[in-house]
A and B are shown apart, each in its own frame.
Chain A
Amino acid sequence: MNASDTAFVIICAAMVMVMTPALALFYGGLVRSRNVLSTHMHSYASLGLITVLWVLVGYTLAFGEDVGGIVGNLAYVFMRGVEGEAAPAAAQLPHTVFMAFQCMFAVLTVALISGAYAERMRFSAMLLFSGLWLIFVYAPMAHWVWGGGWMAQMGAVDFAGGAVVHMASAAAALACAKALGPRVSLESGVVPNNLPLTLLGGGLLWFGWFGFNAGSALVAGTLAGHALATTHVASACGILGWMLVEWKRTGKPTTLGAISGALAGLVAITPAAGFVGILPAMLTGFVGGIVCYGGVLLKGKLGYDDALDVVGIHGLGGTWGALATGLFASASVNEVNGLFFGNPHQLWVQFVSVVGTWVFVFVASRILLYIVDAAVGLRVAPEAEFTGLDLSEHNERGYAL
């Protein structure tokens, strides 16, 4: 164990924790005012429920010793053998610090899905689905990529969670949007209730993302610094990419477009942050902004109501980022070469990991949603949806103006 790495990862864990309240603000500002609190609640419920489940069983299923490339064993169930030891996955860190750092990722990933089911999912159904999803979908996914499972064995790389966090939450989001159906009264349009809230949340997400990506190096050194730099420039270029296509297509650049572009750049660089150079990172972010702008338009064409564009931004951005890693990865940064550095095989394994993630997570999420629907019912009654979930699910109002 090493004091400087430990200090670094503790701070990064705290920064990743802030991303979940930041996401609450980001999502909360985008819904209609009658759902602002219920949308916040999705994130805070994840902080509560997912943390507890992670400590009890989630962590060991993700990071316990590999069982057939599929899942971790139960070595660390109920935190057995974790306290006071070094982390097997990162010997420079106390096991508790590594566990807590990974816990923040699990919490955020589950909260990210809420963008798809916002404004209409029953709160009890949301809790049940989130808990099951952590155990049956997130834990195996994290194991496959970071815990020594089949994707890692195949050589696919995902620096900070392009597949585990972004593609996985997006595939689950797509399953939710399809299972729930569109919100009522969509034809009258949804005007965000508080864009400054969304911008504040988005800015805080950017801040937290440095802990997310740089912290994923797990060592306070050159690689962490590199990830910090790639993360920042990709986000900056994401703003410019989104702004450019939006300006061209609808005549004016918007603030929501700027912050969405920043997030698109951040999502795209997440799997690549510790594998690609600074200039490829800029390109990754810029293309990310453009691809995700196209992604949010897709839902209108395909007819699913992914309320806050989890699929458009995290799905397409994460997919692009995973493939960009296969294109631009350079051994001069970190061990792996991509297509442009003479290793086309890397692009192939990245592609397999993308398909594997989408298919597994979508199908598994859909099955869980059937179970939850049968158990408690997924959707609130239409009257409750008109009244708003703040009142119907939580007996509160966000604004008493």
Chain B
Amino acid sequence: MKKLEIIIKPGVFEKIKAVLTELGVHGLNYSEIRGFGRQRGHKEVYRGTIMQVDCLPKIKVEVVVHDEAFEKVVDAVVSTVRTGQVGDGKIFVSDVADAVRIRTGERGDMAL
């Protein structure tokens, strides 16, 4: 099992959700986060005072998928979100040691 942390612009979350559902992903969670990468932030001006806002709002989607589905999911996300501009986002991938479905006690791939 692999966990994907997909960091994207807020506007594309619904598209990602639709694509993941289409690929048979049964669950995900997301959070509204702030941060910066190469895009950095923007300038805001209040009564002549210039403020550099570095951390922009982003969405982080967390999803755990079967090893064999993993490449397909990554490709689908990338092709859905990519615009070629800085700020498109990132995907961090990590191995997941185990999973437990609390209702039944199922473990591993069965629990997804």
Q: B51 near A246 (CB under 8 angstroms)?
A: no
**Chain A: CB-nearest residue to B48:** A297
Q: CA–CA, A191 to B49, complex, Å?
A: 10
Q: B48 near A249 (CB under 8 angstroms)?
A: yes
Contact of B45 among A190, A250, A309 (CB under 8 A): A250
Q: A309 near B51 (CB under 8 angstroms)?
A: no
Contact of B48 among A189, A190, A250 (CB under 8 A): A250
B92 at interface, CB cutoff 8 A: no
A252 at interface, CB cutoff 8 A: yes
- Interface size of B by CB at 8 A reads 8
Residues of B within 8 A of A250 (CB): 45, 48, 50
A300 at interface, CB cutoff 8 A: yes
**Chain A: CB-nearest residue to B44:** A191
Segment of A6-14, A202-210, A254-262 in the binding face:
A254-262
- Interface size of A by CB at 8 A reads 19
Q: CA–CA, A246 to B51, complex, Å?
A: 15
**CB contacts between A and B, total, < 8 Å:** 29
Q: B51 near A189 (CB under 8 angstroms)?
A: yes
The proximity string for A residues 259-283 relative to B, scoring 1 for CB distances below 8 Å and 0 otherwise, is 0100000000000000000000000
Residues of A within 8 A of B51 (CB): 189, 191
Q: CA–CA, A250 to B48, complex, Å?
A: 7
Q: B46 near A293 (CB under 8 angstroms)?
A: no
Residues of B within 8 A of A192 (CB): 46
Contact of B47 among A189, A251, A252, A256 (CB under 8 A): A256
A384 at interface, CB cutoff 8 A: no
A152 at interface, CB cutoff 8 A: no
Q: B45 near A293 (CB under 8 angstroms)?
A: no
**Chain B: CB-nearest residue to A249:** B48
B53 to chain A, nearest CB (A): 8
Q: CA–CA, A293 to B49, complex, Å?
A: 11
The proximity string for A residues 178-197 relative to B, scoring 1 for CB distances below 8 Å and 0 otherwise, is 00000000000111100000
**Chain B: CB-nearest residue to A294:** B48
Q: B44 near A296 (CB under 8 angstroms)?
A: no
Q: CA–CA, A297 to B48, complex, Å?
A: 7
Could you list 10 further interchain pairs (A-B, Cβ under 8 angstroms) beyond the known A189-B49, A246-B45? A189-B51, A190-B46, A252-B45, A256-B46, A256-B47, A257-B47, A260-B47, A293-B48, A296-B47, A296-B48
Residues in B lying within 8 Å of A, measured CB to CB? 44-51
